[in-house]
Amino acid sequence: MIFSRRHSDLPLRGDATSRFLPWLVGLMVFLAAMAVAGVFVINNVMERWDHDVSGTLTVQVIPAGGDQADAVTEERVLLAVDVMRKVPGVVSVTAFDKKRTLALLQPWLGNTEVVQDMPLPRLIDVTVKSDARIDLTEVAERLSHAVPGASLDDHRVWLSRLINLSRTIQWLAIVVVVLIGMVTSATVVYATRTGMAVHYGIIEVLHLIGAHDDYVARQFADRAFALGVAGGLIGLGLAVPALTAIGWAAKRLEGGFLPSISLPLSGYIAIGLLPLLAAGLAMLTARLTVHGTLSRMP
């Protein structure tokens, strides 16, 4: 074929950029996929925490001292159960015996034999109606007056701290994604400028025969888009097995250290869109870079 294809005015395919840019974009997409997955997983976990603890209260009874410690503690637990059952909106009240309390500690301590004889606080699990409006401060005061050593925990304090920490991590992940985008853009700017310097002679000829800046910019943008898509797919190809492996490893973790880690469907969609976003960013950056550089030509 004597006539070549339309977009061959600039021989960009042979440039060094064509070799390194896809790998670099691939790495960036891989890192972005990890960060995006982190954002969605944390969000998912936070929602589950919130769902799991809302509608539940925990009463903690400090064990009594003295010769009749166990009997007194048991009596206080029964008293606390009685107080809580009288609170309007409470659905169920379940006191945990020592054996069950030790079972709760097992994931953290391993062998619980060493703490068998230690004075462990007794826990009472209280379930309330989801729409119940309970004045927790008043209930806590009533409980502490009625039962020595009893306290009410509605999980909000530690949950809010945990959520704060999670949100901070989420923001950090978002900042990481933004930084990755900036680094990708900077790389494309450098690659485009290098390409323009290499092909300056051709660009000048196109300019002098009446090509608009966008005619040249479009060719660089199209090339950057193609390289961005290629790089994005490389990154996605690396990220999918990595995320699968992390998910598999997380599932193998026994005990309650970590809540179940899973990526929601929206997370998969966001990660699936990353190659297109990277390619779009590369295309836009290349186009703007060419326009900026050509604007200095007469």
Partner 1 sequence: MRHRPRGENIIRFDSVGLRYGLGPEVLQDVTFALPSGSFHFLTGPSGAGKSSLLRLMYLGLRPTRGRVVLFDRDIATTKRYELPALRRRIGVVFQDFRLLDHMTALDNVALPLRVRGVRESEIRKHVPELLSWVGLADHLGAKPSTLSGGQKQRVAIARAVIGRPDLLLADEPTGNVDDHIAMRLMYLFEELNKLGTTIVVATHNESLVSRFAHLPRIHIEHGMVTTLRHVPPEEME
The site for partner 1 (CB under 8 A) is made up of: 2-4, 6, 8-9, 11, 201-202, 204-212, 215, 295, 298
Cα 188 to Cα 17: distance, rounded to the nearest angstrom: 9
DSSP assignment of 167-206:
HHHHHHHHHHHHHHHHHHHHHHHHHHHHHHHHTHHHHHHH
* Closer residue to partner 1 in complex, CB, 3/257: 3
* Closer residue to partner 1 in complex, CB, 15/74: 15
Least distance to partner 1 from the beta carbon of 22, Å? 22
Q: Which of 213, 188, 224 is nearest to 296 (CA)?
A: 213
Query: What is the maximum span of the chain, computed from C-alpha positions, in angstroms?
Result: 104
Determine phi and psi for 146, rounding to 5 degrees.
-80, -35
* Closer residue to partner 1 in complex, CB, 8/137: 8
| Strands ordered across the beta sheet of 56-61 | 90-95, 122-128, 56-61, 150-153
127 strand-pairing partners: 56, 92
* Closer residue to partner 1 in complex, CB, 85/212: 212
Least distance to partner 1 from the beta carbon of 189, Å? 22
Least distance to partner 1 from the beta carbon of 16, Å? 16
Cα 136 to Cα 153: distance, rounded to the nearest angstrom: 9
Task: Report which residue type is found at 111.
Answer: N
* Closer residue to partner 1 in complex, CB, 109/205: 205
Least distance to partner 1 from the beta carbon of 199, Å? 9
Least distance to partner 1 from the beta carbon of 4, Å? 6
* Closer residue to partner 1 in complex, CB, 146/211: 211
Helix count and strand count (H, E) for the chain: 8, 4
Least distance to partner 1 from the beta carbon of 14, Å? 8
